[in-house]
Amino acid sequence: MMIVEGGRRLSGRLTVQGAKNSVLPILAAALLSKDQCRIRHCPRLRDVETAVEILRHLGCQARWEAEDLIVDTTVMDRCDIPDELMRKMRSSVIFLGAILNRCGHAEISYPGGCELGPRPIDLHLAALRTLGAEIREEGGSLQCTAPHLQGAEIVLSIPSVGATENAVLAACGAEGTTVISNAAREPEIVDLQTFLCSMGASVQGAGSSTVTVVGKRPLHGCDHTLIGDRIVAATYLSAAAAVGGEICLEGVSYGHLSTVTTALQQAGCRIQCTPEQICLWSDGALRGVSPIRTSPYPGFPTDAQAEVMAALLRSRGTTVFVENMFENRYRHVPELQRMGADVRLEGRVAVVCGVEKLHAAQVQATDLRGGASLVVAALQAEGITKVTQTHHIDRGYADLAGDLRALGAEIRVETTEDEVT
């Protein structure tokens, strides 16, 4: 549980944690060589612990050295991911392409949906089949075999982040060249490309819609520093925008969250960016902004929708959000309404009408970013808000409470026995 006393302005300087959505595919990529990789600036997250559990289940070793995660994949004596691990983190499907590449076969249980709604993997499976994999879906498990992966032209009907990553990881083990069209362009895919090239792979074009992989390169371990987490940065900027103050964030590229900073500038914040840092000044009196529509990168990130919504709850005016990426990504709204927010939902549309003030309440985190939005709202509320089920938040934030406290927030964590650990 997080206990937040609202009303404090934020000020100070903070280095943003490494990107969760980079480290997960990079841990899968480490399987492509029988060697050791050092991943620097690695955030200690529940999702990273789950990925480490998967690597250890496969027979690999992993250990922490301060902020570095060292992975040794010399030994790998299993090629399956059991149901309980798949259920802990549905993005574990990202290991499928890498296991197939390393072992020639793989077995995972079907990753279920998650709090955001169904999370289909049809594009992942289609891409792997195009590379020559045979995939049988039997009773909730996927049996995959690919004794010989062959480079091919892959066209993704949706620029899916995970499908792009799975295709790249499998293509590194395919004979010949693979060209992935309509690839996702997220910065975390560029980070994965950087990691793979450091291993000796030939991957080009990440960040654009066409990624080209020349497979079967001899690969070795590498030493890689993760990019900063743009969504964690967006969370802190949203918090400072909402309560007022001035903060500077280091370790994240402002170009990776320019749609978020543009929205916050429209709302009345002053933002100054240099290659080293993003600084935001706000008097806490925001105004509504033009409609925010989530879309694949470089569009407005769906992962920042909840946090920016929370920042605008007391703005003068109205803001319309359109959530185009996931079906069920407004689960934080009823919790925000308990704090006095005026948000009206119509399917994928949320209309936020600014209110004079928010009041403290006991609210429950429903998912990772929705939970973060409750904390952003609590920082503005009058009184002391309790946010429960914060294990959702721990999946993506190494120390949300500690970081916000370092910026002047009155927030602490209490562990209560009734909460899922």
Examine residue 326 and tell whether it contacts ligand EPZ (CB under 6 A): yes
Nearer to ligand EPZ by Cβ, of 8 and 20: the residue is 20
Number of residues counted as binding ligand EPZ (CB under 6 A): 23
Q: How far is the CB of 322 from ligand EPZ (least distance, A)?
A: 14
Token pair of 187, please? 């910065």
Active site residues: 114
* Closest CA relative to residue 46, chosen from 390, 404, 413: 390
Determine which residue in the list 302, 315, 319, 380 makes contact with ligand EPZ, applying CB under 6 A. Answer: 302
Of 17, 160, 259, 364, the residue at the interface with ligand EPZ (CB under 6 A) is: 160
Which of 12, 59, 120, 317 contacts ligand EPZ by CB under 6 A?
120
Is the CB of residue 33 less than 8 Å from the CB of residue 75?
no
**Which of these ranges, 4-12, 160-168, 172-180, 377-385, lies near ligand EPZ under the rule CB under 6 A?**
160-168
**Site stretch for ligand EPZ (CB under 6 A), options 121-129, 218-226, 346-354, 412-420:** 121-129
Q: Is 21 in the site for ligand EPZ (CB under 6 A)?
A: yes
Instruction: By CB under 6 A, tell whether 133 contacts ligand EPZ.
Output: no
Span from 18-26, 38-46, 132-140, 236-244 in contact with ligand EPZ (CB under 6 A)? 18-26
**Which of 242, 252, 246, 258 has the alpha carbon at shortest distance from 313?**
242
The verdict on 24 binding ligand EPZ (CB under 6 A) reads yes
CA–CA gap between residue 347 and residue 321 (Å, rounded): 11
Residue 26 makes contact with ligand EPZ by CB under 6 A:
no
State which of residues 52, 108, 180, 184 lies at the interface with ligand EPZ (CB under 6 A).
184
Binding mask 356-385 for ligand EPZ (x = CB under 6 A): ------------xx----------------
Q: Provide the 8-state DSSP code for 303.
A: G
- Judged by beta carbon, residue 107 or residue 229, the one nearer ligand EPZ is 229
Residue 396: φ, ψ to 5°: -125, -10
Q: Is 161 in the site for ligand EPZ (CB under 6 A)?
A: yes
Among the listed ranges 117-125, 128-136, 147-155, 239-247, the one in contact with ligand EPZ (CB under 6 A) is 117-125
Torsions phi, psi of 267, nearest 5? -75, -10
CB of 230 to ligand EPZ, least distance (A): 10
Asked if 305 is part of the footprint of ligand EPZ (rule: CB under 6 A), the reply reads: no
Q: Give the whole-angstrom CA distance, residue 184 versus residue 189.
A: 8
- Are 22 and 191 in contact by the 8 Å Cβ rule? The answer is yes
Closest CA relative to residue 131, chosen from 147, 107, 108: 147
Binds ligand EPZ by CB under 6 A, chosen from 9, 38, 44, 119: 119
State the maximum Cα–Cα separation within the chain, in Å, rounded to a whole number.
63
Q: Does 325 help bind ligand EPZ (rule: CB under 6 A)? A: yes
Quick one: CA dihedral 309, 314, 315, 317, positive or negative?
positive
**124, 230, 314, 331: residue in contact with ligand EPZ (rule CB under 6 A):** 124
User: Interface with ligand EPZ includes 52 (CB under 6 A)?
Assistant: no
Is there binding between residue 98 and ligand EPZ (CB under 6 A)? no
Question: DSSP string of 245-275?
Answer: EEEEEESS-GGGGHHHHHHHHHTT-EEEE-S
Strands 223-225 and 36-40: parallel
| Burial of residue 413 (number of CB atoms within 10 Å: 0-12, 13-18, 19+) | middle
Q: Does 123 bind ligand EPZ (CB under 6 A)?
A: yes
Give the shortest CB-417-to-ligand EPZ separation in angstroms.
Answer: 27
User: CA 122 → CA 21, 95, 288, distances in Å?
Assistant: 20, 15, 38
Q: Is 310 in the site for ligand EPZ (CB under 6 A)?
A: no
Specify whether the CB–CB gap between 144 and 134 falls below 8 A: yes
Quote the Cα angle for 374-376-380, to 5°: 105
Phi, then psi, of 186 in degrees rounded to 5: -55, 145
One of 158, 197, 322, 413 touching ligand EPZ (CB under 6 A):
158
Residue 138 near residue 107, CB atoms below 8 Å: no
Residue 396 interacts with ligand EPZ (CB under 6 A)? yes
Q: Rule CB under 6 A: which of 199-258 touch ligand EPZ?
A: none
Give me the residues that bind ligand EPZ (CB under 6 A), please: 20-21, 24, 91, 119-124, 158, 160-163, 184, 302-303, 325-326, 368-369, 396
